[in-house]
Structure 1
Amino acid sequence: MQIRQLAEKERDTVIALRRHFHENPELSQKEFKTMNFIEKFLHDLGIETVRVPHGGVLGFIDSRKPGWTVLMRADIDALPIREDPVNLTKQRVCISKNEGVMHACGHDGHTAMLLTEAKILSQHKEDWEGKVVLMFEEAEEMGERGIAPLLRYIRDHHVHVDTCFGTHVMWSLPAGKVGILYGTAMAGAYFFRIRLHGKSGHGSRPDMAVSPIECFISIASELRSYRMRMTAPTDSFTYSFGSVQAGHEPNIIPEVLEFAGTARCTKNDDGLAFRKTLLDLAKNTAALHGCTVEVVEDQYFPVTVNTKECVDLARKAVVENLGDGALDKDCPMWMATETFSITESTWPGVFFFTGINDPAVGSGSPHHTPKFDIAEEGLVTGVAAALSYVTAVLKEKPETPSFHKVDLESMLKLTE
Structure 2
Amino acid sequence: MLAVKELALQEKETIIALRRHFHEYPELSQQEFATMDYIEEQFHAWNIPTVRVPKGGVVATVDSGKPGWTVLVRADIDALAIDEKETNLTTKKVVLSKAKGVMHACGHDGHMAMALTEAKILAARKNAWDGKVIFIFEEAEEFGERGVSPLLQYLHDEKIHIDMCYGTHVMWRLPAGKVGIVYGTAMAGAFFFNVTIHGCGGHGSRPDMASSPIEAFVSIANEVRAFRMRAVAPEESLTYSFGSVNAGSKPNIIPSELSFSGTMRCTRNEDGLAFRTFMKTTLPRIAEEYGCTVEFTEDQYMPAAVNTKECVDLARRAVVTALGKDALDEDCPMWMASETFALIESTYPGVLVFTGIQDEHVGSGAPHHTPEFDLAEDGLVSGVGTALAYILTVLEEKPATPSFKAADLKTMIDMLDPTKS
Residue 237 of structure 2: aligned partner: 236
Rounded to whole Å, the distance in 1 between the matches of 2:279 and 2:85 is 37
The structural deviation recorded for 1:405 is 1.1
Rounded to whole Å, the distance in 2 between the matches of 1:281 and 1:237 is 18
Residue 248 of structure 2: aligned partner: 247
Residue 353 of structure 2: aligned partner: 352
Rounded to whole Å, the distance in 2 between the matches of 1:88 and 1:246 is 38
Q: Any idea what the Cα deviations from partners look like across 1:299-354, whole Å, max 9, x if unmatched?
A: 11111111111111111111111100000000001111111111011111111000
The structural deviation recorded for 1:201 is 2.2
Structure 1's consecutive aligned runs of 4 or more residues displaced over 6 angstroms after TM superposition are none
**Is it true that 1:199 corresponds to 2:193 in the alignment?**
no
Report the secondary structure of 2:258's partner residue.
strand
Q: Any idea what the Cα deviations from partners look like across 1:334-388, whole Å, max 9, x if unmatched?
A: 1111111110111111110000000111111111111111011100110011001
**Is it true that 1:339 corresponds to 2:340 in the alignment?**
yes
Residue 379 of structure 1: aligned partner: 380
In structure 1, the gaps of 5 or more residues are none
The structural deviation recorded for 1:182 is 1.2
Residue 39 of structure 1: aligned partner: 40
Q: How does 1:2-401 map to 2 (within 5 A)?
A: 2-401=3-402
Report the secondary structure of 1:225's partner residue.
helix
The structural deviation recorded for 1:213 is 1.1
The structural deviation recorded for 1:233 is 0.4
Report the secondary structure of 2:188's partner residue.
strand
Report the secondary structure of 1:29's partner residue.
coil
The structural deviation recorded for 1:248 is 2.1
The percent identity for this pair of structures is 63
Rounded to whole Å, the distance in 1 between the matches of 2:81 and 2:198 is 30
Greater Cα offset, 338-347 or 244-253: 244-253
The structural deviation recorded for 1:202 is 2.5
Aligned amino acid, residue 11 of structure 1 = K
Aligned amino acid, residue 259 of structure 2 = E
Q: Any idea what the Cα deviations from partners look like across 1:206-236, whole Å, max 9, x if unmatched?
A: 2232221111111001222221111010111
Rounded to whole Å, the distance in 1 between the matches of 2:369 and 2:237 is 22
Report the secondary structure of 2:333's partner residue.
coil
Aligned amino acid, residue 204 of structure 1 = S
The structural deviation recorded for 1:4 is 0.9
TM-score of the superposed pair, with normalisation by structure 2 = 0.97
How many residue pairs get aligned? The number is 416
Aligned amino acid, residue 60 of structure 1 = T
Report the secondary structure of 1:239's partner residue.
strand
Aligned amino acid, residue 100 of structure 2 = E
Rounded to whole Å, the distance in 1 between the matches of 2:306 and 2:270 is 14
The structural deviation recorded for 1:240 is 0.8
The structural deviation recorded for 1:252 is 2.3
Rounded to whole Å, the distance in 1 between the matches of 2:315 and 2:19 is 25
In structure 2, the gaps of 5 or more residues are none
TM-score of the superposed pair, with normalisation by structure 1 = 0.99
Rounded to whole Å, the distance in 2 between the matches of 1:107 and 1:393 is 25
Report the secondary structure of 1:352's partner residue.
strand
Rounded to whole Å, the distance in 2 between the matches of 1:304 and 1:186 is 5
Report the secondary structure of 2:193's partner residue.
strand
Report the secondary structure of 2:248's partner residue.
coil
The structural deviation recorded for 1:142 is 0.9
The structural deviation recorded for 1:78 is 0.8
Report the secondary structure of 2:300's partner residue.
strand
Q: Over the residues paired in the alignment, what is the CA RMSD in angstroms?
A: 0.9
Rounded to whole Å, the distance in 2 between the matches of 1:248 and 1:56 is 43
The structural deviation recorded for 1:291 is 1.0
The structural deviation recorded for 1:249 is 2.4
Rounded to whole Å, the distance in 1 between the matches of 2:144 and 2:61 is 27
The structural deviation recorded for 1:271 is 0.3
